[in-house]
Amino acid sequence: MTGRLAGLTAVVTASAQGIGRASVLAMAREGAKVMATDIDADKLEPLSAVEGVTLRQLDVLDAQAIAEFAAQVPAPDILFNCAGYVHNGTVLACDEAAFDFSIGLNVRAMYRMIRAFLPGMLDRSGGSIINMASVASSVIGAPNRFIYGTTKAAVIGLTKSVAVDYVTKGIRANAICPGTVDSPSLHERMRAQGDYETARAAFISRQPMGRLGTPEEVAELVVYLASPETAFMTGNAIVLDGGWTNA
Ligand code: NAD
């Protein structure tokens, strides 16, 4: 197999749809052996036909499942922590249960995945960890994204901390901060607002380019951060947001 990731292995969380799925496909196309994981085994199944991809059901909220997984497979060269959940609401609309759920899925799951696989990466003196943040984080405040933005800011801090602690050990850690990306859960969020077309127009209007991002565009950044081309990059929070924050 040739490609920018030839000879490398990857583990991806939340691979069954959206950015995670597009990233599995892009990394496999570039020659990586990819273990695609998701809580939903049925939704993962179509990826079984893709060369270089193996599947594993994994709920990243389940600490024991993560530990068992890490005990069964060698640490990958690339760990893409993609799982995350968008809670809609202000601080007053975020009760304790919603707060805990988002911290658990958006932050603690990454902490657990990194603790599970980093020792093996250190044994090999190599690894690229890619964590899914968002521009709705420490980059910018977005309306009704209180706990989402809080957790995604934590992802950036977590990423920088891992990057600095292991910078001399061959480990890189970078975070990705997309604007609004056209994924299945985005459509659910649009439908949940009642008037789908109005919600869609509102999401698009905050993107100065006048369109949503695509999962494939984000996947290209995942490949880039995974590849040896970015061997000198670590501790970054990279924005790709159609100009939302900078144009
Ligand atoms: P999505 O939300 O459409 O899909 C999420 C996937 O996560 C699903 O396949 C689901 O089965 C899986 N999942 C849910 N709970 C899980 C769990 N406990 N364990 C394992 N898998 C679980 O995908 P998306 O919109 O592409 O979002 C992916 C990531 O990108 C998230 O972290 C999200 O916050 C981030 N992000 C998305 C956007 C966007 O606009 N779509 C923008 C910025 C950042």
92 Cα: distance to centroid of ligand 1 (angstroms): 24
User: d(Cα 146, Cα 94) in Å, to the nearest integer?
Assistant: 8
Q: Whose CA is nearest to atom 44 of ligand 1?
A: 134
Long-range contacts of the stretch 195-198 (C-beta < 8 A, 24+): none
Q: 149 in ligand 1 pocket by Cβ < 6 Å? A: no
Specify the pTM: 0.98
Which of 11, 15, 17, when mutated, tests ligand 1's pocket best, judged by the most ligand atoms within 8 Å of its CB?
Answer: 17
Task: Collect all residues with Cβ–Cβ distance below 8 Å to 139 and sequence separation of at least 6.
Answer: 156, 177, 237, 239, 245
Q: 113 in ligand 1 pocket by Cβ < 6 Å? A: no
Q: In tens digits, what is the pLDDT along the chain, a chain of 247 residues?
A: 789 999 999 999 999 999 999 999 999 999 999 999 999 999 999 999 999 999 999 999 999 999 999 999 999 999 999 999 999 999 999 999 999 999 999 999 999 999 999 999 999 999 999 999 999 999 999 999 999 999 999 999 999 999 999 999 999 999 999 999 999 999 999 999 899 999 999 899 888 999 999 999 999 999 999 999 999 999 999 999 999 998 8
